[in-house]
Structure 1
Amino acid sequence: MGTCGKDIPLETQFMLVESKDNTEGEHDDAPTMYTVFLPLLEGNFRAVLQGNENNELEICFESGDNAIETNQGNYLVYMHAGTNPFEVINETVKAAEKHMQTFLHREKKKLPSFLDWFGWCTWDAFYTDVTAEGVEEGLKSLSEGGTPPRFLIIDDGWQQIGSEGKDTNCVVQEGAQFASRLTGIKENAKFQK
């Protein structure tokens, strides 16, 4: 939540802005407007939103590869506005679906069967302190409690996105924690080929 441009965090992939429609002057009874900003993908590039210290909204357009750069794009962000936030969001996704033709709106998708299963994600239990022993103990505890998970998501929050600058003197770079994390997890016979 925020009230100005500098409040928009890095890597913002969707933004809904609430404002008053003051096109005919400022009135207390002016309708509330909701505007969606949906950054898009284009070729090898993706767009994201971010604020800056001048309270401006910026569009960051990147490939994720320093060797692939551009300073232009045709379709960076789709915007749509209206008075009902739910309709605005729904119409935004439908318009992006029609334009991009790379995905289907949720109304057209069949739900995967695994949604009927109970699964467990390690993030809420361990955050960044995921260990093989912790995962094993968590699975054991859930099973002994009568709710064995049918799938497991191991999430140690490796991708840190924050507005603070990178420490150039830091010896360990983002992603380097994989060198010491989860090294003791081994697949059981069920998954060995």
Structure 2
Amino acid sequence: MSIFRFKVLWTTHWVGDKGSDVKHETQIMILDKLDFGHPYVLLLPLIEGSFRASLQLGDDDNLDICVESESTQVTSSSFRSSLDMHVGDDPYSLVKDTMKLVRVHLGTFILLDEKTPPGIVDKFGWCTWDAFYLKVHPDGVWEGGEGSGGGSGGGRLPAGTDAHRRRMAIHFPR
């Protein structure tokens, strides 16, 4: 299973069983059923300074790592860290444990568990874009707002196309 960027501000998941199934700009990948003594392997491309890494399809069904700055003025030929790889028995614990270790290694971010989100976070219950992704229409947005308490009844507020600001959770099937 993987998550890849398919638009500037949007990611989605993808599954496959060989290198040719890997999508361009894959940002996290979990491999399963390998003979490494643990059933799951997590591959996490990293950000280092002005550079970000991603996984992509390589030659002969291999997996390549691409490191780029998105600027012709910012270049380098070597990197301290571009990929983190961990193995584990439980995909949920594997993601959490990996993020804790990467946090210590990079020292550039803190985890959600270490933050105190502002109270307004509890007011945002759903995203109108997600709720009506295929058929966005004004009536549906208003109906959704009323149903979630975001209309005259108070309660939660619908969020518009706020993909660049949302906290995203990665869910893996059990």
TM-score by length of 2: 0.68
**Uncovered stretches (5+) of structure 2, i.e. residues with no partner:** 1-14, 151-155, 164-174
Which stretch shows the higher mean deviation, 39-48 or 69-78? 69-78
- Whether the 8 Å contact between 1:117 and 1:150 is mirrored in structure 2 is yes
Structure with the bigger percentage of strand: 2
How far did 1:102 drift?
Answer: 1.3
Higher relative contact order (CA 8 A, sep 6+): 1
TM-score by length of 1: 0.63
Superposed CA RMSD: 2.7
Matched-pair identity in %: 35
Aligned residues: 144
How far did 1:9 drift?
Answer: 0.9
Give the letter aligned to residue 18 of structure 1.
D
Give the letter aligned to residue 140 of structure 1.
W
- The residue aligned with 1:54 is 60
Which stretch shows the higher mean deviation, 107-116 or 6-15? 107-116
Question: What are the residue-to-residue correspondences of 1:62-77 with 2, within 5 Å?
Answer: 62-77=68-83
- Whether the 8 Å contact between 1:38 and 1:78 is mirrored in structure 2 is yes
1:153 to 151, 160, 174: 160
- The residue aligned with 1:21 is 35
**Uncovered stretches (5+) of structure 1, i.e. residues with no partner:** 23-30, 157-193
Instruction: Confirm or deny that 1:10 pairs with 2:10.
Output: no
Name the SS of the counterpart of 2:143 in structure 1.
helix
Task: State the 4+ residue runs in structure 1 displaced beyond 6 angstroms.
Answer: none
CA distance in 1 between counterparts of 2:148 and 2:83 reads: 47
Name the SS of the counterpart of 1:20 in structure 2.
coil
Name the SS of the counterpart of 2:20 in structure 1.
helix
Give the letter aligned to residue 80 of structure 1.
H
- Whether the 8 Å contact between 1:127 and 1:155 is mirrored in structure 2 is no
